[in-house]
């Protein structure tokens, strides 16, 4: 005897994700707007999309995939084409191109009609896996743009610096290291002060010598001014 498949709403009730009042309200709303009962529960805010998909994956016996940790293979996505991925809201997660078999992540794994339409449009045999609609949309953008949508925005890729900028940074770093060495700075300061003292001493000695030459009459004051002006 075949086992009767438990409905998604019964699974949610069993795990106390919803109560009878939620279920009654969802069914009343479904009569007005139509659609799957599980999706109505999500729209009314009674369950999250991920919780609904977990229940559907359990009911159908299919995997619930995480497209962040297991991104879709690019070769399979290109084989299915971007147009079909966007049209049906799916992205391949595994498969075999030679045997024309693809397992696709979808946020509507219970929709046999859509999966059949996808199979006819693509020429592949299609098996479903469950994933949230937001993660599928990001995966489609990533795989067809050739760039990861799941990169950490707080740690962007570091671009290489131009050679001149890198060399300038090295020079600044060397200068900072030299200035941080107190011994070298002190020695350099002492040498500068010594040179200043020698220069001042030589100037005073030159003035005394000039005065002696003036007293001896060997040099006029104008000649002395000219010579001091050249020193």
Q: What is 74-145's CATH topology?
A: GMP Synthetase; Chain A, domain 3 (3.30.300)
The reported pLDDT for the residue numbered 135 is 96
| Rounded Cα–Cα distance for residues 129 and 109 (Å) | 7
Q: Which residues pair with 95 in a beta bridge?
A: 102
The H or E element that residue 95 is part of is: strand 90-96
| Rounded Cα–Cα distance for residues 119 and 98 (Å) | 15
State the helix-helix crossing angle for 182-215 and 221-230, rounded to 10 degrees.
160
The reported pLDDT for the residue numbered 104 is 98
Query: Can you tell me the mean pLDDT for 193-219?
Result: 60
148-160 residue pLDDT tens: 444 444 444 444 4
44-90 residue pLDDT tens: 999 999 999 999 999 999 999 999 999 999 999 999 999 999 999 99
Q: What is the DSSP letter of 35?
A: S
Number of residues that this document lists for the chain: 231
94-129 residue pLDDT tens: 999 999 999 999 999 999 999 999 999 999 999 999
Query: Can you tell me the mean pLDDT for 29-49?
Result: 93
* The pLDDT of residue 1 is above 50: no
Tell me, yes or no, if the pTM score tops 0.75: no
The reported pLDDT for the residue numbered 163 is 53
Q: Which of 122, 3, 146, 141 is nearest to 61 (CA)?
A: 3
- Supply φ then ψ for residue 128, to 5 degrees: -90, 155
User: What is the token pair recorded at 200?
Assistant: 């001042």
The reported pLDDT for the residue numbered 193 is 59
Query: Can you tell me the mean pLDDT for 8-17?
Result: 91
User: What is the token pair recorded at 72?
Assistant: 């879709």
Domain boundaries, the chain: 8-60, 74-145, 165-230
């Amino acid at each position: 005897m075949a086992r009767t498949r438990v409905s998604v709403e019964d699974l949610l009730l069993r795990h106390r994700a919803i109560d009878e009042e939620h279920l009654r309200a969802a069914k009343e709303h479904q009569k007005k707007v139509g659609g799957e009962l599980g999706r109505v529960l999500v729209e009314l805010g009674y369950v999250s999309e991920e919780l609904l998909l977990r229940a559907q994956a359990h009911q159908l016996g299919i995997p619930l995939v995480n497209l962040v940790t297991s991104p879709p293979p690019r070769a399979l996505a290109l084989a299915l084409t971007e147009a079909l991925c966007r049209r049906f809201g799916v992205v391949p997660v595994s498969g075999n191109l030679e045997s024309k078999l693809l397992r696709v992540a979808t946020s509507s794994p219970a929709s046999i009609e859509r999966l059949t339409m996808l199979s006819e449009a693509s020429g592949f045999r299609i098996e479903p896996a469950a994933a949230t609609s937001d993660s599928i949309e990001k995966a489609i953008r990533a795989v067809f743009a050739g760039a990861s949508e799941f990169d950490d925005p707080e740690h962007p890729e570091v671009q290489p610096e131009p050679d001149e900028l890198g060399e300038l940074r090295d020079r600044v770093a060397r200068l900072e290291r030299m200035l941080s060495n107190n011994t070298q700075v002190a020695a350099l300061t002492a040498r500068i002060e010594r040179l200043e003292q020698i220069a001042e001493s030589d100037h005073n000695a030159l003035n005394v010598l000039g005065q002696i030459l003036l007293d001896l009459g060997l040099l006029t004051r104008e000649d002395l001014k000219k010579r001091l002006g050249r020193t």
